[in-house]
Amino acid sequence: MTLAEAKQKLAQYGQEHVLKYYEELDAAGREALLAQIAETDMSVLASCKHREELVKKGEITPLAAMELDEINANRKSFTSTGLDAIHDGKVGAVLLAGGMGTRLGSDNPKCMYNVGINRELYIFECLVNNMMDVVAQSGSWFHLFVMTSEKNNDTTIKFMQEKEYFGYNPEFVHFFKQEMAAATDYEGKIYLEEKGRLATSPNGNGGWFISMKNAWLLDLVKKEGIEWINVFAVDNVLQRIADPCFVGATIQRNCDVGAKVVRKNAPDEKVGVMCLEDGRPSIVEYYDLTRELMDAKDEKGNPAYNFGVILNYLFRVSALEQLLDGNLPLHIVEKKIPCLNENGELVKPQEPNGYKYESLVLDMIHQMDSCLPYEVERNREFAPIKNKTGIDSVESARALLQENGVEL
Ligand code: UTP
């Protein structure tokens, strides 16, 4: 892209200010900035002016979960179906590790966080240990695809190589990078993170399947005959991955996606809950859950919207393939964005200072024809690390790990 073309594009979207330092850049710096301007989608940024209209919900009705009693009554059969699928290579897993973990505030990727107290125990290690249980049970390795971003890819790969994949078979581990999106101030103006670089952030966890395709990994999925993909977040250290009983239940119920859920601990707990939206499976975010929905009861007299998602989904690959061209809704999220100040100095804000533009994996559920919400015991499978202290923190996760017999 030439400078003239860049100016034209920037004028169209009111972003001319990003050329403020253009004259100061050397030839390579100028070329890089023009290339970044060419590839950045600026059409979405104006949406920040009407954020609330973006994610409009349809009619919400309850979607019953498969509860623990039913799971326990069928555990043997589900587990056997799941183990067969894993043993036959039909199950793969995708670790979503492209996030910035701004709330935790560590400079390293979240997977490198050491949750140990008297010994080293990294988040990635906890996840691999949990995967190894399934490897032992099924007698076979399963493929793990790790989504990183441009910001943390090299550090994550180097860390895993140094740690020798914590004992996992490296032939079954594949890294791929997600796409980036521009980050802006509250008026939708793109921040600069360097004099010759627009501020960018990973484009949310909803792009994982497209990014896998762009990295040619869907060819491997096909070649290996992987029919189910278990997508999970990096930060839940009690996460069960490719859980045979969950896999078997989703297969036996013939659903396009299974979603692990936990019983909410209060009607207003801040988790997204499973529901139907206009008759299709969906997740309603806690901030969209009205008092009326919170208090609604099902036919047994139990709260009708009582199961929260924990970002552990099992997708049927053939259902995902039909979605490849379907756009997910855009979420505009307030975040802390490192950027140049008026004087051209880099600042790392302590408070949110603008917006990131993301698509979310939870919106993929609404695009599936059928979904099995599958209850798991909260204290056994849900120990998310979002913050340093308090709720969903290193502290709370450590306590839960210890409760589950993990030595720290
Ligand atoms: P979070 O919503 O907790 O976001 O991600 P985050 O960026 O990790 O953390 P904060 O909000 O800045 O503190 C949930 C999961 O989705 C992944 C994260 O790595 C985590 O596993 N994720 C998030 C991505 O892979 N890509 C993204 O763009 C965003």
**The token pair that represents 304 in the structure block:** 């009708």
How high is the pLDDT of residue 206?
94
244 Cβ closer than 6 Å to some ligand 1 atom: no
How high is the pLDDT of residue 287?
80
> For residue 55, is pLDDT > 80?
no
Max avg pLDDT among 37-46, 51-60, 150-159, 322-331: 150-159
Alpha carbon of 101 to ligand 1 centroid (Å): 6
How high is the pLDDT of residue 325?
66
DSSP 54-71: TS----EE----B-HHHH
98 Cβ closer than 6 Å to some ligand 1 atom: yes
DSSP H or E stretch at residue 277: strand 273-277
147 Cβ closer than 6 Å to some ligand 1 atom: yes
272 Cβ closer than 6 Å to some ligand 1 atom: no
Q: pLDDT over 70 for what percent of the chain?
A: 99
How high is the pLDDT of residue 323?
83
Nearest CA to ligand 1 atom 9: 101
Rounded to the nearest 10 degrees, what angle do helices 27-39 and 3-13 cross at? 40
How high is the pLDDT of residue 11?
97
- Over residues 264-283, the pLDDT tens digits come to 988 888 899 999 999 999 99
- Over residues 343-365, the pLDDT tens digits come to 999 999 999 999 999 999 999 99
> For residue 104, is pLDDT > 70?
yes
**What is the chain's Cα-based Rg?**
22
Taking the CA of residue 384 as reference, the ligand 1 atom at the shortest distance is: 3
Q: Which long-range contacts (CB under 8 A, 24 or more apart) does 224-227 make?
A: 224/89, 224/92, 224/143, 225/88, 225/89, 225/90, 226/89, 226/90, 226/91, 226/92, 226/143, 226/317, 227/85, 227/90, 227/91, 227/316, 227/317, 227/318
Alpha carbon 389 to its chain centroid, in Å, reads 21
The structure's pTM equals 0.93
> For residue 326, is pLDDT > 90?
no
Measuring CA to CA, which residue among 84, 404, 134, 385 is closest to residue 248? 84
How high is the pLDDT of residue 317?
97
Work out the pLDDT band at 45, boundaries 50, 70, 90.
very high
